[in-house]
Amino acid sequence: MKDYLKHHEWQIVEEGFDAHLNKVSESIFSIGNGRMGQRANFEEEYSGETLRGSYVAGVYYPDKTRVGWWKNGYPEYFAKVLNAPNWIGIHISIDNQKLDLAKCKVENFKRVLDMKTGLLSRSFTASFADGKKVSVSSKRFCSMANGEVGAIRYAITPLNFSAKATCSIYVDADVVNKDSNYDEKFWEEVSKEASEGKAIVTAQTKKTFFHVATGMKYVIESEGKKVSFDRINIEQREKFAGNVVQFDLHQGKEVVIYKYAAVLSSENHPKDKIAANCSKVVDDATAKGFDKLFEEHAKIWEHKWEECDITIEGDISAQQGIRFNIFQLTQTYTGEDERLNIGPKGFTGEKYGGVTYWDTEAYCLPFYLSTSDPKVARNLLVYRYKHLPKAIENGQKLGFVDGAAFYPFVTMNGEECHNEWEITFEEIHRTSAMAYAIRDYVDYTGDDKYFAEFGLEVLIGNARFWAQRATFSSDKNKYVVLGVTGPNEYENNVNNNWYTNYLGAWTLRFAQHAIDHVKKTDSKRFAEIAAKTNLKEKEETSKWKDIVDKMYYPFDEKRGVILQQDGFLDKELLTVKDLRKEDRPINQKWSWDRILRSCFIKQADVLQGIYLFEDDFNVETIKKNFDFYEPMTVHESSLSPCVHVILASKIGYKEKAYELYLRTARLDLDDYNNDTEEGLHITSMAGTWMSVIKGFGGMRVKDGKLHFTPYIPEQWKSYSFRLEFRGRVIKIKVGKEKVDTILESGEPLELFVQGKSVLLK
Amino acid sequence: MKDYLKHHEWQIVEEGFDAHLNKVSESIFSIGNGRMGQRANFEEEYSGETLRGSYVAGVYYPDKTRVGWWKNGYPEYFAKVLNAPNWIGIHISIDNQKLDLAKCKVENFKRVLDMKTGLLSRSFTASFADGKKVSVSSKRFCSMANGEVGAIRYAITPLNFSAKATCSIYVDADVVNKDSNYDEKFWEEVSKEASEGKAIVTAQTKKTFFHVATGMKYVIESEGKKVSFDRINIEQREKFAGNVVQFDLHQGKEVVIYKYAAVLSSENHPKDKIAANCSKVVDDATAKGFDKLFEEHAKIWEHKWEECDITIEGDISAQQGIRFNIFQLTQTYTGEDERLNIGPKGFTGEKYGGVTYWDTEAYCLPFYLSTSDPKVARNLLVYRYKHLPKAIENGQKLGFVDGAAFYPFVTMNGEECHNEWEITFEEIHRTSAMAYAIRDYVDYTGDDKYFAEFGLEVLIGNARFWAQRATFSSDKNKYVVLGVTGPNEYENNVNNNWYTNYLGAWTLRFAQHAIDHVKKTDSKRFAEIAAKTNLKEKEETSKWKDIVDKMYYPFDEKRGVILQQDGFLDKELLTVKDLRKEDRPINQKWSWDRILRSCFIKQADVLQGIYLFEDDFNVETIKKNFDFYEPMTVHESSLSPCVHVILASKIGYKEKAYELYLRTARLDLDDYNNDTEEGLHITSMAGTWMSVIKGFGGMRVKDGKLHFTPYIPEQWKSYSFRLEFRGRVIKIKVGKEKVDTILESGEPLELFVQGKSVLLK
């Protein structure tokens, strides 16, 4: 755990330069706008430890799979979000000395991420070997108003000298992925052009042939006037284009370099026009200028915060933590493009390939449902609908037939690209995350037309998967589900993982519900879907019912607890308190087999199921299971604690809830797991949001009505949050003594606080 | 399945050249002598499909591990037997046309492996593009009399022309492993020297720094006289040295090239003398000459066959098959060097790295016990004794303590080098294969001093492993063994695999037996061992006893069968007959999860346990289990059928036994699994031998006496085999009507045939 950032309500502030923390800060200070984003790399050269990363949403590379021992069914490739062309570079040298913070003496270093406006700032003074000293101040943002535009204001002031400065300003597509499996480069040049003040490089990815045009223009001013250059050279080489200019620096006088960038992808532009369009976008941005661009950008952020801010009084660190999570989530996914999704690291790193996991449905969806226009959440659902044919193909590759949809564990275009058999083939619960998301969406928004439009097809595919994946055990006279990995990935290839069995049976019931609903509300559309999916309704649904009726659920009568899986009680039943400090985290300290044999739980499993289907269990049952499983849970997945916060809140374990909340809220800011340098845990940030809203706030939707059972952690004075709900914006403020519910916009609404009806007007 | 080789009692014969079969033949016609060996690559250049391979016993390379997802506990490297310097090369060209069977027209091609004398011969006529035609006849062997020597007689006759021939004769250490994980070369040059008629290259392996000196001399004769050369060039380049000579070919006159090679490894020679020693060995071999060397070599083979031949009358294909298995086993491991072991591919290919598996103890040991001096089998045991400290280290890496010995699944020097968690960490039964081998050895030889000398330490280490690896289930009030993979690798991470539990408990009992024995027979030595191993006898052995007493064994009361593992009955219980042809082999046609969920068995598992502990089960029980499991067994491991043959023979299922025998006996000759081109299944060949001796012959050792319950497959007229047993050589001949037992040498001996005592004199 680290604690080097200043606590501040709206800002992340790093003071003083520590090269050892640079990669951590590069992650934390990342900026993006849903279309593109980047780590907080320096504009100038930096020869120290850095992970350079710019990313363009939806642009990926199918890197050839690397395995030790090939298993039948493995995919040929692992899709990776690409490190994309670098548009931030501004290299400065003075008297042949490079401005490089790894080599200069650095003072007064300050890095600030203003979350209110989405602005990354940095300032410092640097001394060269010969004693020359400059002060630098840079500001940078990726425009929320125009997702293809970025802008930099880079100001340099010579403090104790006057001299010639040489400045290289460029775009560079000769970039690599650090996680390339076979050390290959993924980009090839398509075209480039450079002229005075402007450069554009169009590059394409190998194999996937995405084109990305990256353009830049710059303006260099001093005291409001354009600086005149001694010389200007056009620089071009493979995948690189820019200018090198030389100009005078006068002691004490600031020179400001404005760099405007445009990043266009062939996902949004025809390939034959992309360079020309890029040229236009960068011209327009330059014409608009930095201040105007920033104003438009900040306005969007203002609006975003109105939708989704959470305020916490009395705990500035908690306030900063929750806003940081919301900020990163918001700039990762804006919901405007249904082809996009939320990579586990967003635009902040390469790890996990930046592709889509079940995290989206299980953790992120509730955040976007409550804080954005319903179309945002809907687009996340449609994304999976569009992948349905691929999910059916994925199933076929593993031997499933007749339209059984097996959604991938990791994907970019719908194809599976994970290659670890115990996950890829066995962590099958993820396919029902897509079904549960439909329920979540319809429950929250009331948009039950979604069944007819897209939902039913997904549910039929899903139900077919479970109908084939369950095995009838003649020994038990029950249906069993063999050979799975549950959300708790510290168990592999187990039989009858309760979470999986429960979710599978629920999916079959929910598919039946959807069929009934569509038949009743839109029989014509139902007939269409039945024809399209070749549904043998009676035969198939009676099989589904048989499985639902005879599904086997492991249970311990003696303790009255659900069993995580068959054989769980054969384990030595220890608790996390029995572990020595040097055993933690067990995923770094123990061999894999020891983890598997132990009772320790990486991530909520039975409790995850109880959380999802809370209404099926009484408080007594929840308590028993919480008391049994929580002490065994090591929370070594960032996705784990939030579920425990919600359940602990539900059963009145307030201290436990707050303890676990702390674990998630500042996970990245304090680098809790010592892995922030690889990127931020974006998807788990939504879990943190859930901890507050569903945990402390006790928000639920029942029969189309909002319910709250809020309480306040002792350490706080008050907290408040806003929710979008069916056309209204509601603000809930929870204090020590009372709960305020305010309708900020929209029609009157009845909601429930602690079970009591409240009519908001 | 292929059927292109002629059936012959003592020879493997290929007639006609089929380039598509060349790699298969290269495997089948491999030759070796326990110290070195090689695939049947051509001496001349060959630009067609080939897998070039020469191997030197004990010389390996730790190739950097390649995995998809790193698991804690994985080894850093995978040891690989190296493709070693090539000493066979004799390149011929005539008028700038290379003799290359991929380019010439080839007629009368014949390749013969004479198993009686260990001689590889080849003859053919080849026509060049310009119509010139030569006949070639080559003979090659790796001397059994001197493991460092190889010799070639390569004769060429111009049939329709006279011309100059150019001949390059060399040694080349610039060789690669096809299975290199990262396409690296593993050899570096240490020194080289070349003079007229002679060349030596000394190369060392990277990382492991083995030195191998490879030397050659040659003599070229025609009509008994040395051929005079037009010119002779010394050729040297990186890792390569040789001569290029030019001489006249006269139509119709044979020119014979004798090439003598010496291959010395730093395992047997000091590095600073290895080149000089190599020079001497090749000088001596050359001085001796081809015929004399061959005579010495053939004599050893004659002796070997006296020890281990099996004759089968009435079935020439079965005769050829069994001899081929014995031949390959014998030339792979001679038992003279306790540092060596039996790689699963011997000297015939790279697959599986050529390192040591539990195959050695479970399948090969009985062969060497019965066909060689007891020191051969003993050396195999001592090999593992020497690895005991490493086995303890392997255990420590996975979290075991206090001297628990966890033998590796795959090893060269005792360190684990396999990297697939479900095998590496979980296929734990292999560690007890080392214990069982001790029992096998002592039972067969009567050498119970072995306990005191080496055995007990291994058994204490082994017992400690099981004492820690078993878990007390308070739910069952039994000890359970969680998270294992049994011999049937089509199940991973199961609980209470019966074979594993049984073997674990037996190991604890056997360790106690060994303690008692050594205490009684050599109390001083016992005290030494107890001190060395820090044995807390009372405390430790009472824990062992507790586990033995309370070990859990899954069993189905209803069917009266042992259960392969917990939950086995939840599967859909199909039989192999239910599989469609297009599903076979399932390991190529099905995804891994489907295999895991199915009931199908790769390799004997429960039956393997019954085979090892046959006396613990009555025939009724064996039958029940055989009837239950055999129909589910797909035998997709080459190690599987032999165990079934032995049990089927025991319970009188003679047809089944013969059917399964056929599956193993000609596995490689007929390329049954379409994988012979990668190398031969050396270790499973010992299983074939067991099928005859323990299956048809019914050989057992009980209380130090040999027992036989022989029967004869209907298809055969008679069969006979020899056994070495406690200083005697016994020949058993089984005919349709009678069984002859003959004492060929040694003291009189009582043995039992069909339970009746027979005194051999």
B653-710 pLDDT, tens digit each = 999 999 999 888 899 999 988 889 999 999 999 999 999 999 999 999 999 999 999 9
pLDDT at B514: 98
**Which long-range contacts link A220-229 to residues 24+ away (Cβ below 8 Å)?**
A220/A167, A220/A245, A220/A247, A220/A255, A220/A256, A220/A257, A220/A258, A221/A255, A221/A256, A221/A258, A222/A250, A222/A253, A222/A254, A222/A255, A222/A256, A223/A253, A223/A254, A227/A255
Chain B residue at shortest CA distance from A474: B570
Given a cut of 80, whether residue A354 has pLDDT beyond it is no
Given a cut of 90, whether residue A686 has pLDDT beyond it is yes
B579 interfaces chain A, CB cutoff of 8 Å: no
Mean pLDDT, chain B, integer: 96
pLDDT at B478: 98
- The HSE-up count of residue B565 (CA atoms within 13 Å, CB side) is 28
Given a cut of 80, whether residue A471 has pLDDT beyond it is yes
Note whether A426 contacts B492, CB cutoff 8 Å.
no
Residue A2 banded pLDDT, cuts 50, 70, 90: confident
Q: What is the tens place of the pLDDT at every residue in A217-252? A: 999 999 999 999 999 999 999 999 999 999 999 999
Containing A140, the helix (H) or strand (E) segment is: strand A133-142
Least Cα distance to B251 among B396, B347, B133, B102 occurs for B133
Given a cut of 80, whether residue B1 has pLDDT beyond it is no
Q: What is the tens place of the pLDDT at every residue in B224-242? A: 999 999 999 999 999 999 9
Containing A384, the helix (H) or strand (E) segment is: helix A374-386
The catalytic residue among B43, B415, B427, B489 is B489
Mean pLDDT value of segment B368-395: 96
Residue A120 banded pLDDT, cuts 50, 70, 90: very high
Question: What residues pair up with A356 in beta bridges, in sequence order?
Answer: A411
Given a cut of 90, whether residue B448 has pLDDT beyond it is yes
Least Cα distance to B137 among B152, B151, B147 occurs for B152
Nearest residue, CB atoms, B483 vs list A66, A397, A593: A593
A270 interfaces chain B, CB cutoff of 8 Å: no
Kindly give, in sequence order, each residue whose CB lies less than 8 Å from that of residue B466, ignoring residues fewer than 6 positions away.
B432, B504, B505, B507, B508, B544, B547
A472 interfaces chain B, CB cutoff of 8 Å: yes
Mean pLDDT value of segment B391-408: 97
Q: What is the tens place of the pLDDT at every residue in A302-334? A: 999 998 999 999 999 999 999 999 999 999 999
Note whether B475 contacts A592, CB cutoff 8 Å.
no
Mean pLDDT, chain A, integer: 96
Chain A residue at shortest CA distance from B484: A593
* Residues in A touching B398 (Cβ below 8 Å): 591, 593-594
* Residues in A touching B473 (Cβ below 8 Å): 569-571
Token pair 């086993």 in the structure block, residue? B329
- Measured CA distances, A129 to A99, A123, A126 (Å): 10, 20, 10
Could you count the other beta carbons within 10 Å of the beta carbon of residue B578? 13
What is the percent of chain A where pLDDT is above 70?
100
Mean pLDDT value of segment B553-578: 97
Token output for B502: 């049984």
Distance CA A668, CA A23 (A): 12
Given a cut of 90, whether residue A424 has pLDDT beyond it is yes
Question: Which parts of A536-640 fold into alpha helices (H)?
Answer: 537-550, 586-589, 592-597, 606-612, 619-629
* Cα Rg, chain A, nearest whole Å: 27
Mean pLDDT value of segment A167-181: 93
Q: What is the ipTM of this complex?
A: 0.92
Residue of B397, B592, B599 to mutate, interface with A, max A Cβ within 10 Å:
B592
Residue A512 banded pLDDT, cuts 50, 70, 90: very high
Give the A:B interface size as CB pairs under 8 Å.
133
Containing A285, the helix (H) or strand (E) segment is: helix A274-288
First to last CA, chain B: 46
CA distance, residue B589 to nearest chain A CA (Å): 8
Mean pLDDT value of segment A733-739: 96
Given a cut of 80, whether residue B155 has pLDDT beyond it is yes
Note whether A597 contacts B482, CB cutoff 8 Å.
yes
Interface of B with A in 405-424 (CB under 8 A): 419-422
CA distance, residue B462 to nearest chain A CA (Å): 18
Q: What is the tens place of the pLDDT at every residue in B77-93? A: 888 889 999 999 999 99
Chain B residue at shortest CA distance from A588: B72
pLDDT at A352: 76
Residue of A552, A570, A594 to mutate, interface with B, max B Cβ within 10 Å:
A570
Given a cut of 90, whether residue A180 has pLDDT beyond it is no
Residue of B480, B593, B600 to mutate, interface with A, max A Cβ within 10 Å:
B593
* Residues in B touching A179 (Cβ below 8 Å): none
CA distance, residue A258 to nearest chain B CA (Å): 44
DSSP state of A633: B
Distance CA B167, CA B90 (A): 7
A579 interfaces chain B, CB cutoff of 8 Å: no
Mean pLDDT value of segment A430-457: 98
Note whether B72 contacts A588, CB cutoff 8 Å.
yes
Q: Which residues of A are designated catalytic?
A: 489
Note whether B425 contacts A399, CB cutoff 8 Å.
no
Given a cut of 90, whether residue A181 has pLDDT beyond it is no
Alpha carbon A638 to chain centroid distance?
A: 12
B482 interfaces chain A, CB cutoff of 8 Å: yes
Chain A residue at shortest CA distance from B482: A597
- Across the beta sheet with A749-753, the strand order is A700-702, A705-708, A749-753, A756-760
- Measured CA distances, A272 to A190, A269, A599, B103, B509 (Å): 11, 8, 58, 49, 78
pLDDT at B81: 86
> Could you tell me the pTM of the whole model?
0.93
Given a cut of 80, whether residue B50 has pLDDT beyond it is yes
The count of residues in chain B is 761
Q: What is the tens place of the pLDDT at every residue in A83-113? A: 999 999 999 999 999 999 999 999 999 999 9
Note whether B591 contacts A398, CB cutoff 8 Å.
yes
Asked if A644 and A656 count as a contact pair (C-beta separation under 8 A), the reply is yes
Token output for B336: 């003279």
pLDDT at A429: 98
Task: Annotate A300-359 with DSSP letters as a single string.
Answer: HHHHHHHHH-EEEES-HHHHHHHHHHHHHHHHH--S--TT----TTTTS--GGGG-B-TH
